[in-house]
Structure 1
Amino acid sequence: MTDHASPVPRDHDLRTCSGSLHPASAFRDGLTGLSTSPIFPDQKALLRFRSTPWTALNEGPRLGITAEIPQQYGRSRLVDEATGVGFLAFGPKQSLTLRHGGLALSVDQLNRARELVPTGEPPAAEALLADARFLAGGADTVDAQRAVLMAAIACEVKAKRVVIERANPERRQGLGGVSNLDEITDRFYQQAFGVSLRLSNQALFIKAKRLRTLRNKIAHEGEAVDRDECDQLVLAATQIFAWLNAIQPTP
C-alpha cells in the first residue's frame, strides 16, 4: 500500500517547536552552544535568550482628567423644592465675584432703593427665619438643632401675627391658648379665615407637624438633628411663610 501522507517538515517537529515541553526544544539550532560546565563539558548549553528592547504598554489613562472625579468648588446647599432633598456639594471652599459696568446702579436708583427699604428692626418672625436659614446653610459651621428651633419658633410667631393683624377680632378669640403650629394653621385658621393648611397642602401640613414635634424634642430632650432633615424643615418653614403671606384679611 502506498503512503500518500506528505512528510512532516522539520520545522513542525513537536520535539523542537517553540513552546514545546519536550527537552529537545531547549536545544534548537542556532540557539545553542557548547557548555562551559566542568561537569558536563560535551553537553549543549541551554537556550541563550536574545534581548529585546523595552516597549511601553498603552493601558489607557493614568489618573488624568478623564479618570478622576471632577470636583465642585465652593459650598452649595441647593434643594430640590419638589422633593425637599438637598444636592451634595464637595470640594474646597472658594469665592468668585463677577462685576459688569452695565449693571452698576446710579445714585438716583440707590436713593430710590433706600426709600423702599423699611426703617427700624425687621419683624421678629422674619428675623427668626433668616437666622434659621443662616444656621442651616449659610454659616461656616452648620448648627442643625438651632436651625430647627429657630424655624419652628418663626412659624409659630408668624402664624399668630397673621391672625392678630388680619382676622376679625370676633374670630380670633382663644388664640392665646393655642401654641402648636399645626393646630393654629388648621383648626384656628378655619375659625378665623375659613382656610386650613391641612386642607390646602397636606404634605406641607405634615412637615409643619414634624417641625413642631422635633422642636419640642430638641428643647426638652436635646434630640440630635440630621442635616438633610434640617434642610427639609427649614425649606418647609419658608414655604409655610409663603402660605401665611397669602392669607387674605377678613372683614
Structure 2
Amino acid sequence: MTKLEVRIRYLINDLWIEPGLLGWGHRLDIDGEAIEIRFPDSPEDFTAREWETGLQPTPSAFPVTGVYEEPNWDSRTVAIRLVAISVVFDADLPADRPKNPFEGEYGAMLNLAYERGRTRAESTMQAFLEWLRALSRQPWLGLLADSPRQYGRGGVYYAESGEPIGGLGPTVSRTFTSSRSRIDASRLQLVMNGVESGQEVSPSQALLADAWHLTEGTDRPDGKRAVILAAIACEIRVQEHLRAAANQLNGAMLHLLLSKGSSVHYLFVDLMQAVCGISLDKADPDLWKHVLDLSANRNSLVHEGVPSPKRPMRRGAPDIAQRVFDWLASLEMSVHDKGPELIEPTAQ
C-alpha cells in the first residue's frame, strides 16, 4: 500500500472573509481519509501556472472594494475565489513510478486512486459550500445545492515526499454595499461544525439561503419565489424551535398540536406562548407585522398567483425571514434553560 495525496482546486463565487483568515486551513478525518480544506495565502496561490495551458489564470484572493465605511467597524474585506482540498489515503499503487504513469496497469490503478480522492474532495466541498451558503448571508455564492466547480486538473502526489505523480481530470461585475456579510472566524467555525457533524443543512436554513440567492445573488432575481421560500422557511424554523424547546414529557403533546394547524398566528403566537412563554406579537410587534405581510403575500402567490394587494411588502422577504431566525436564535438558550411546561393554546 502507498500513501497518496489527491489535490483539487475549486472555484467559488468570491467568498468574503475577514483578512485574518487568509491562509486558513482545517483538517478532518472521514472513514480513514485525512482531508484538508485550505484558503489561499496570497493572490498567486492555487491559480493557473505557466504550464497549465488553456486554463484562465485568476487571482485566488483580492481585496473587496466598494463597501461602506462604517463607524466602529473595520470594513477591510478579502474575497476568496479559489479553495484547495487535499485528501490523503492508502492506495494499492506500486511505490515505484514508471516513466509514463498513465499507461498500463499502473495507469489504471492511478486513475482509480484519483477518482477516490476526487470523489471525497467533491463531497467535502459540497458540504462546505452548503454550510457557507446557509450561514454566510452571501447570496451570490449560489443556490444551496449548486455543485462545486473544479478549477483545472487535479494532482496525485506521494503523500510522504510530496513528489508529483501526475495530473488528471478535466481542465476547466457585481456591486455590493456592506462588508458585514463576510465570514469571520466564529462563523467559519460554525460552518466546520456542520461539515464535521455529517448533518445536512436544516430545511429552514436551506430555504432561507435560496431565498437570499433568488433576491440578491442572481442576474435574474425571482422575488415571487423568494417570498414563498422565505415564508416556508419561517414556518419550518419556528416548528424546529418549538420541538427543541419541548421536553420529552410534552413532546408528544406538541406533535399533536402542530398537526392541528400551521397559520402564523397559531405558530408564532399561540404555540410560542404556550411552549416558550413568549409570543412574537408581544415581543416584537414591528417584526410581527412584517411576518403577517410575508404570510399574506405567500398565500396570495400560492392561491392567486399574484402578491397580496392588501398587504404590500415593506421589507424584503429574506430580510424578514432572517429577522425571524435571529429572534428565535436569541431565545434558544433561555428556552433550553427554562424548560417551560406546555399548556393548551388558545383557539385559532
User: If the length of structure 1 is used for normalisation, what is the TM-score?
Assistant: 0.53
- Report what 2:327 is aligned to: 243
Any conservation in 1 of the 2:269–2:279 contact (CA below 8 Å)? yes
Q: Secondary structure at the match of 2:232?
A: helix
Q: Within 2, Cα distance between the matches of 1:134 and 1:200?
A: 29
Q: Within 2, Cα distance between the matches of 1:132 and 1:125?
A: 11
**Quick one: which of 188, 191, 205 aligns to 2:274?**
191
Please give the per-residue CA displacement for 1:99-156, whole angstroms capped at 9, x wherever unaligned. 9798222466958968533424211110011111111111110000000000000000
Percentage identity across paired residues of the two chains? 28
Q: Within 2, Cα distance between the matches of 1:177 and 1:102?
A: 48
- Give the alignment of 1:8-87 within 5 angstroms: none
CA displacement at 1:233 relative to structure 2: 2.6
The farther-off stretch of 114-123 and 209-218 is: 114-123
Please give the per-residue CA displacement for 1:147-204, whole angstroms capped at 9, x wherever unaligned. 0000000000111111112213436251211211233111111111101111110000
Instruction: Mark the CA change 1:230 to 1:149 in structure 2 (over 3 Å): closer, same or farther.
Output: farther
- Report what 1:154 is aligned to: 233
**Quick one: which of 297, 305, 308 aligns to 1:222?**
305
- Give the alignment of 1:33-182 within 5 angstroms: 103-106=22-25, 110=37, 116=193, 117=195, 118-168=197-247, 169-170=249-250, 172=254, 173-182=256-265
Q: What is the letter of the counterpart of residue 289 of structure 2?
A: I
Q: Within 1, Cα distance between the matches of 2:277 and 2:228?
A: 29
Any conservation in 2 of the 1:135–1:146 contact (CA below 8 Å)? yes
- More strand, by proportion: 2
Rg larger for: 1
Q: Within 2, Cα distance between the matches of 1:245 and 1:102?
A: 26
For these two proteins, the number of residue pairs brought into alignment is 156
The farther-off stretch of 96-105 and 129-138 is: 96-105
User: If the length of structure 2 is used for normalisation, what is the TM-score?
Assistant: 0.39
Any conservation in 2 of the 1:136–1:142 contact (CA below 8 Å)? yes
Q: Within 2, Cα distance between the matches of 1:208 and 1:192?
A: 20
Instruction: Mark the CA change 1:105 to 1:187 in structure 2 (over 3 Å): closer, same or farther.
Output: same
Higher RCO (CA 8 Å, separation ≥ 6 residues): 2
Q: What is the letter of the counterpart of residue 152 of structure 1?
A: A
Q: CA RMSD in A?
A: 3.4
Any conservation in 2 of the 1:144–1:230 contact (CA below 8 Å)? no
Q: What is the letter of the counterpart of residue 233 of structure 1?
A: A
Any conservation in 2 of the 1:186–1:196 contact (CA below 8 Å)? yes
Q: What is the letter of the counterpart of residue 178 of structure 1?
A: G
| Residue 206 of structure 1 pairs with residue 125 of structure 2 | no
Q: Within 1, Cα distance between the matches of 2:281 and 2:15?
A: 43
Q: Secondary structure at the match of 2:259?
A: helix
Q: Secondary structure at the match of 1:141?
A: coil
Q: Within 1, Cα distance between the matches of 2:320 and 2:263?
A: 16
Q: Within 2, Cα distance between the matches of 1:189 and 1:105?
A: 41
Q: Within 2, Cα distance between the matches of 1:96 and 1:243?
A: 26
Unaligned runs of 5+ in 1: 1-94
Q: What is the letter of the counterpart of residue 165 of structure 1?
A: A
Unaligned runs of 5+ in 2: 1-13, 28-35, 39-187, 341-348
